[in-house]
Structure 1
């Protein structure tokens, strides 16, 4: 069958070819006209779409800017609200707390009932309180978001995607902070290594000095009895060359954790004596129920260098130099951690800034509209400090049985859910202590092994019901891990 190749070309368009079977001339003319009309229609349609495309791109840019704004806002969430439970979870807790009308409850008047309850009743009561407290944390967290995002609840109703955008910002901030603290803690550990090695070196000098003194004495005694059959002298034994601590990698956690002498000392709960080699070995095994470091929140890194009170573990808790350094790194500025005294926790309140010396560069606290220390920010710094001391290969809620979400709960509850009036007063005093050292010129003066860190309520109840007859020796950091070798 013969075929005629009809080529149609219009201005500004590509060449298009249409194969048409043999047909009358009049029909070919009609086909050409029809094809030309179709081409013109496509061109017109393309022009019609051009205008909406521009406005659509404009809307996309606006939406993208709004999304970035939400991500920036979300950076405050991990630092001030929640770390391990995402926003969807705390919103569910917020709704459940309100549904059960817990937010309308009045403080319980327990009176003498607690003294008369048996052990089983106490466990049941504590379990109910823990569940209520779980919901209350989410409720309080949502209220905290509303402080720096006033229209939060209405916004997520109109645009639910905001929740995920906020959480992306929170995750990004947490990841950045983890890397920053990793390096800071590495630097601080190496300062301790230098100090420990200086102590080792000094002890070796003293031993060598004593050795040479004894050697001279032995030599003199030997010569005094020269020729005397009864004269004897015993040469002293020369001290062995000291073994020095190795430096820690500042950008890796691989050589930290319980296996490291200094990092292990700082991770060890104060309930255990790290300098007892048998205790240390048991802690490092991670399988001895009598020495389960994952069951306690009272790690040595949270206490000052001077030590702690074994009869009152709340005393001086969360007042360490290291924790203050980490907090400053996270919330004020990295430079604020430089050239700070190792005795930072005992320094008086920071003086107010003089006029003319105010920095115009906003720090993290200013960017997230934070004018005073809040309990959840302390908990955030604490989990980062403890995690940076560990040998965890990557970020996780648990490592070697230690549950960081439980640690965060414990510290948040220390402030937000005091067990009695004394605990409430102590929490307020501690918060003032933090504000005095961080902010100036303000009005604020389930883990992998199946074990679970003791909750704040359980911890206090346990200490109230057990005897304080046993004593624990303090191992001040000031003495230095260098006093004890492997």
Structure 2
């Protein structure tokens, strides 16, 4: 059914982009292609990052809704609206299921605190002020172990905002950030891999997961990588937000998600692409 196929929209296509936006970008490119053929225009076309992101999303959606292209051309508008409705219903269901289950399971994937433990069904002790979750959410440029820094963050100091412009420490292997090599261990945290396994394989596989360190030399049980579309759920599960919202204080989840997708899918050059390929190969060892 379209409801079942729609679950892929939020799981693997795009966490935020509306279905209509994906289709609109496809339509825009088709119209542009036809116009360029009529004009015999073969000059290179440059699209924006957002346009490329939407088009990649549409192409990915076709893998799960293969009849969509024909439906766009041959289906009555009222029937097409019903198809959209069912796809959105499936997408919303998948989003809710994943968010709730990962939030509960996260307590088993992060270090145990020395104070009050995290509770699967509660947001208490989570967020930037949480003993366990604070260091994982904290941007790499801030030292949460410094009482003065922690106080300024808690007070909402404008110089210490928690935004999506910086990677949180919790997406690094063992939550260790090396300022001399900012991408060392990036997107290799165990709880990110466990988030992926929990959603796409089974909760049991996430529990059994053990990762090698960034050099691949030994097995460890670190605290704290999935394809780009699952890292947002990882971060949200560490937060103290009572319900899902695209904005959590100064933190913009849409921007965070787009930054991650662009890191993987819009590399600025061959050196950056090599790093992406190496990271994906690292991931393949654990999720394939």
Shift of residue 305 of structure 1?
Answer: 1.2
With over 3 angstroms needed to count, the CA separation of the structure-2 counterparts of 1:311 and 1:387, relative to structure 1, is same
1:331 equivalent in alignment to 2:197: no
Matched residue, 1:71: 3
Q: Deviations over 1:347-394 (max 9, x none)?
A: 68xxxxxxxxxxxxxxxxxxxxxxxxxx9x612221011000011111
Matched residue, 1:438: 287
Matched residue, 1:340: 209
Shift of residue 415 of structure 1?
Answer: 1.2
Distance between the aligned counterparts of 2:175 and 2:14, measured in 1? 32
With over 3 angstroms needed to count, the CA separation of the structure-2 counterparts of 1:252 and 1:173, relative to structure 1, is same
Matched residue, 1:138: 54
Matched residue, 1:385: 234
Higher relative contact order (CA 8 A, sep 6+): 2
1:425 equivalent in alignment to 2:274: yes
With over 3 angstroms needed to count, the CA separation of the structure-2 counterparts of 1:98 and 1:308, relative to structure 1, is farther
Shift of residue 106 of structure 1?
Answer: 4.4
Matched residue, 2:262: 413
Shift of residue 345 of structure 1?
Answer: 6.3
Q: Deviations over 1:454-478 (max 9, x none)?
A: xxxxxxxxxxxxxxxxxxxxxxxxx
Shift of residue 409 of structure 1?
Answer: 0.5
Cα RMSD over matched residues? 2.6
Matched residue, 2:187: 318
Q: Is the 8 A contact 2:175 2:189 kept in 1?
A: no
Distance between the aligned counterparts of 1:333 and 1:280, measured in 2? 37
Unaligned runs of 5+ in 1: 1-68, 109-128, 198-244, 349-374, 440-486
Distance between the aligned counterparts of 1:400 and 1:311, measured in 2? 30
Matched residue, 1:90: 22
Distance between the aligned counterparts of 1:70 and 1:96, measured in 2? 24
1:282 equivalent in alignment to 2:147: no
Tell me, what secondary structure is at the counterpart of 2:208?
coil
Q: Is the 8 A contact 2:164 2:253 kept in 1?
A: no
Distance between the aligned counterparts of 1:179 and 1:306, measured in 2? 24
Shift of residue 273 of structure 1?
Answer: 1.0
Superposition map of 1:293-304 within 5 A = 293-304=162-173
Matched residue, 2:220: none
Q: Is the 8 A contact 1:254 1:393 kept in 2?
A: no
Moved more, 408-417 or 89-98: 89-98
Shift of residue 184 of structure 1?
Answer: 1.1
Shift of residue 182 of structure 1?
Answer: 0.6
Q: Which has the larger radius of gyration?
A: 1
Distance between the aligned counterparts of 1:166 and 1:261, measured in 2? 40
With over 3 angstroms needed to count, the CA separation of the structure-2 counterparts of 1:185 and 1:413, relative to structure 1, is same
* TM-score (structure 1 length as normaliser): 0.52
Matched residue, 2:65: 149
Matched residue, 2:131: 261
Tell me, what secondary structure is at the counterpart of 2:151?
helix
Q: Deviations over 1:127-163 (max 9, x none)?
A: xx7xx11111111111111122222121244131211
Shift of residue 317 of structure 1?
Answer: 1.1
Tell me, what secondary structure is at the counterpart of 2:6?
helix
| Equivalent of residue 248 in structure 2, options 399, 423, 434 | 399
Q: Is the 8 A contact 2:164 2:256 kept in 1?
A: no
Q: Is the 8 A contact 1:297 1:410 kept in 2?
A: no
Q: Is the 8 A contact 1:304 1:345 kept in 2?
A: yes
Distance between the aligned counterparts of 1:145 and 1:81, measured in 2? 6
Shift of residue 312 of structure 1?
Answer: 3.1
With over 3 angstroms needed to count, the CA separation of the structure-2 counterparts of 1:309 and 1:316, relative to structure 1, is same
With over 3 angstroms needed to count, the CA separation of the structure-2 counterparts of 1:70 and 1:304, relative to structure 1, is same
Distance between the aligned counterparts of 1:88 and 1:181, measured in 2? 28
